[in-house]
């Protein structure tokens, strides 16, 4: 064979991406990955590359795309600072189980370890925050390793994978051959389920008088929304969600009793310590959900349905574990349980909701004070989108308020940074979400602090023309930190007050339609106008500086110690 039958490693990357069904990449070019970008130039009709304004923005955009489309998000960056700028987004994807493949360029293999220009050990740096990573120094290895990367990222409990390719491997010629990866030795993405364990779980459910379900993102990742809904409707079990589980079940479903966790609803938190059976489905007992583990659901039998064996008995000891994909295990469990309603037990959740409504909710969505609240902004977004929008949030008070009050009719509608709590997530993630579901309305709700961490991605939104609707709730504070300082640090507001720029002027500088609301009388029409727009739109809403988010479980406290004020 002659060189005419060979292609470069760089072209092998592009061909393998196409074989894996990729049609969208987020990234930022640079010296060490330039050969791949040069090949990408030749394939512009098949691969859409979105030039973000920062590599971190590329990772969050890929996350947003993946979360709403169910596909693997793809990111490319150069070596050194390009690669290290990906790390926050990779860590976010790892803890929130988001499938992503990141391809980084690297200095030539003979320079590895020499502290060459823009050389960093991205394999060593990213090892703790990736599901798998690998460095390629030979062109012939590119198709097999990239195919393996996509398989690992998507299978079982999803996560991010990083592939680092030296520059000489990108230039080197090779005979290209692609083979789809369908298995990896010693890696079993979906554990076998036990019929015996499912039978034992069904017996506990049938005997229970006060069962309670907490469901997480595993329902969404397993595409088991219908199976889950049918199961709870048969058993009549009250069901609450973690923030990443939000939208797996419509928010107005009669068995949806709200959110658990630090700023969750009053009833689900308090009654966690009164149920006689706690069924955890596709969730990992995060500390923000459990509070003090020494006092968490000690009176209850616990069933844990989970795809990742490492999560079982990690934080909370369970009586019965049901491993496997819940899309497979829930129907089996459903076939063994009795029809039930638990009406008396469900009323307990309703009575606790009434207490929360009187003490917290009514004051937030129907305020009597002059200043605008975050909750009433979310209420207007609900009214204008009818619960059909994808809502993307950053991290902070606005995130908790949005999760508490947003209405969702469809799954894959709540996109937020859960486990890592990454400020700066929302703006690029909203761009990715819109590109992953262009037919749906996408609204980013962001605090004034987190917004400024990736504000440059307004340029990407303008350049792509993606009709993202951006709402900044501006209280001129790092609000969540300020709340903690008020409650636990005797009002010492250390480095939390923000002197903000003219956000509307900045948005208009990026050629976006923009408006600012400071009075309640203008809010409804401003939100309507934003939602009706067919273009990217920015809306700033000035909200109360000293509003706090309640209910709240103080750090280290029991879920029973949730505070309403």
Q: Is 55 annotated as catalytic?
A: yes
- CB 433 within 8 Å of CB 65: yes
d(CA 134, CA 222): 27
DSSP code, position 518: -
Give, for 516, the enclosing helix (H) or strand (E).
Answer: strand 513-517
What Cα–Cα distance (Å) separates residue 54 from each residue in 65, 75, 120, 303, 323? 17, 12, 18, 43, 39
Catalytic residue among 42, 46, 117, 299: 117
d(CA 264, CA 356): 11
Neighbour tally for 117: CB within 10 Å: 11
Cβ-Cβ contacts under 8 Å for 244 (sequence gap 6 or more): 96, 216, 217, 220, 414, 416, 418
> Parallel, antiparallel, or unpaired for β 48-51 and 100-106?
unpaired
Catalytic residue among 71, 154, 167, 327: 167
Sign of CA dihedral 49, 50, 55, 57: negative
Q: Is 485 annotated as catalytic?
A: no
β-pair partners for 24? 48
Catalytic residue among 55, 227, 311, 380: 55
d(CA 289, CA 269): 9
- What's the 3-state SS for 25-62? EEEECCHHHHHHHHHHHHCCCCCEEEECCCHHHHHHHH
What Cα–Cα distance (Å) separates residue 525 from each residue in 418, 519, 522? 32, 11, 6
Cβ-Cβ contacts under 8 Å for 377 (sequence gap 6 or more): 445, 471, 473, 523, 527, 541, 543
Q: Is 550 annotated as catalytic?
A: no
CA-angle at 417, arms to 252 and 93, nearest 5°? 120
Q: Is 188 annotated as catalytic?
A: no
> Parallel, antiparallel, or unpaired for β 7-8 and 173-174?
antiparallel
Catalytic residue among 100, 400, 423, 480: 480
Give, for 302, the enclosing helix (H) or strand (E).
Answer: strand 301-306
Catalytic residue among 6, 19, 118, 200: 118
First to last CA, the chain: 77
Q: Is 117 annotated as catalytic?
A: yes
Cβ-Cβ contacts under 8 Å for 86 (sequence gap 6 or more): 55, 56, 58, 59, 75, 77, 102, 104, 126, 162
| 82 HSE (CA, 13 A, CB side) | 26
Tokens linked to 330: 């829930």
Place of tokens 């609900």: 382
- What's the 3-state SS for 65-105? HHHHHCCCEEEEECCCHHHHCCHHHHHHHHHCCCCEEEEEE
- CB 105 within 8 Å of CB 79: yes
d(CA 511, CA 4): 47
So which residues are the catalytic ones? Answer: 55, 117-118, 167, 480
């Amino acid at each position: 064979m002659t060189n005419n039958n060979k292609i470069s490693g760089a072209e092998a990357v592009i061909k393998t991406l196409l074989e894996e069904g990729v049609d969208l990449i987020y990234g930022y070019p640079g010296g060490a990955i330039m050969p791949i970008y040069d090949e990408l130039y030749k394939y512009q009709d098949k691969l859409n590359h979105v030039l973000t304004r920062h590599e971190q923005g590329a990772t969050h955009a890929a996350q947003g795309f993946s979360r709403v489309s169910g596909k693997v998000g793809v990111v490319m960056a150069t070596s050194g600072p390009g690669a290290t700028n990906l790390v926050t987004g990779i860590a976010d994807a790892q803890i929130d189980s988001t499938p992503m493949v990141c391809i980084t360029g690297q200095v030539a293999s003979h320079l590895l370890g020499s502290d060459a220009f823009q050389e960093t050990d991205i394999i060593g740096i990213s090892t703790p925050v990736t599901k798998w990573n690998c460095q390629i120094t030979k062109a012939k290895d590119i198709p097999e390793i990239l195919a393996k990367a996509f398989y690992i990222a998507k299978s079982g409990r999803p996560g991010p994978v990083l592939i680092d390719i030296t520059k000489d491997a990108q230039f080197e010629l090779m005979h290209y051959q692609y083979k789809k990866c369908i298995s990896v030795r010693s890696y079993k993405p979906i554990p076998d389920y036990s019929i015996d364990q499912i039978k034992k779980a069904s017996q506990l459910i049938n005997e229970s008088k006060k069962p309670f379900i907490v469901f997480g993102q595993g329902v969404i990742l397993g595409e088991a929304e219908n199976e889950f809904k049918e199961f709870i409707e048969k058993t009549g079990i009250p069901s609450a969600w973690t923030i990443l589980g939000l939208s797996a079940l419509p928010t107005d479903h009669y068995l949806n009793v709200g959110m658990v966790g630090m700023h969750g609803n009053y009833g689900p938190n308090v009654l966690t310590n009164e149920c006689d059976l706690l069924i955890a489905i596709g969730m990992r007992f995060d500390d923000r959900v459990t509070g003090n583990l020494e006092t968490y659901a000690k009176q209850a039998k616990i069933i844990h349905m989970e795809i990742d064996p490492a999560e079982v008995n990690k934080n909370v000891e369970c009586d019965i574990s049901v491993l496997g994909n819940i899309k497979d295990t829930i129907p089996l469990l459903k076939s063994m349980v009795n029809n039930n309603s638990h009406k008396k037990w469900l009323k307990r959740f309703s009575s606790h909701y009434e207490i929360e409504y009187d003490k917290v909710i009514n004051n937030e969505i129907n305020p009597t004070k002059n200043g605008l609240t975050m909750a009433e902004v979310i209420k207007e977004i609900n009214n204008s989108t009818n619960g059909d929008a994808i809502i993307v949030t950053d991290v902070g008070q606005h995130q908790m308020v949005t999760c508490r009050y947003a209405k969702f009719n469809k799954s894959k509608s709540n996109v937020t940074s859960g486990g890592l709590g990454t400020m700066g997530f929302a703006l690029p993630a909203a761009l990715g979400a819109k590109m992953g579901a262009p037919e749906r309305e996408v609204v980013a709700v962001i605090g004034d602090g987190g917004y400024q961490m990736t504000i440059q991605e307004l340029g990407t939104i303008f350049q792509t023309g993606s009709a993202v609707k951006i709402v900044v709730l501006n209280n001129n504070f790092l609000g969540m930190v300020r709340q903690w300082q008020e409650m636990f640090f005797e009002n010492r507001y250390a480095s939390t007050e923000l002197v903000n720029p003219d956000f509307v002027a900045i948005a208009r500088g990026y050629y976006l339609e923009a408006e600012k609301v400071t009075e309640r009388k203008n809010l409804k029409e401003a939100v309507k106008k934003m939602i009706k727009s067919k273009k990217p739109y920015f809306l700033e809403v000035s909200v109360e500086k000293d509003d706090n988010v309640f209910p709240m479980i103080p750090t280290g406290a029991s879920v029973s110690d949730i505070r309403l004020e």
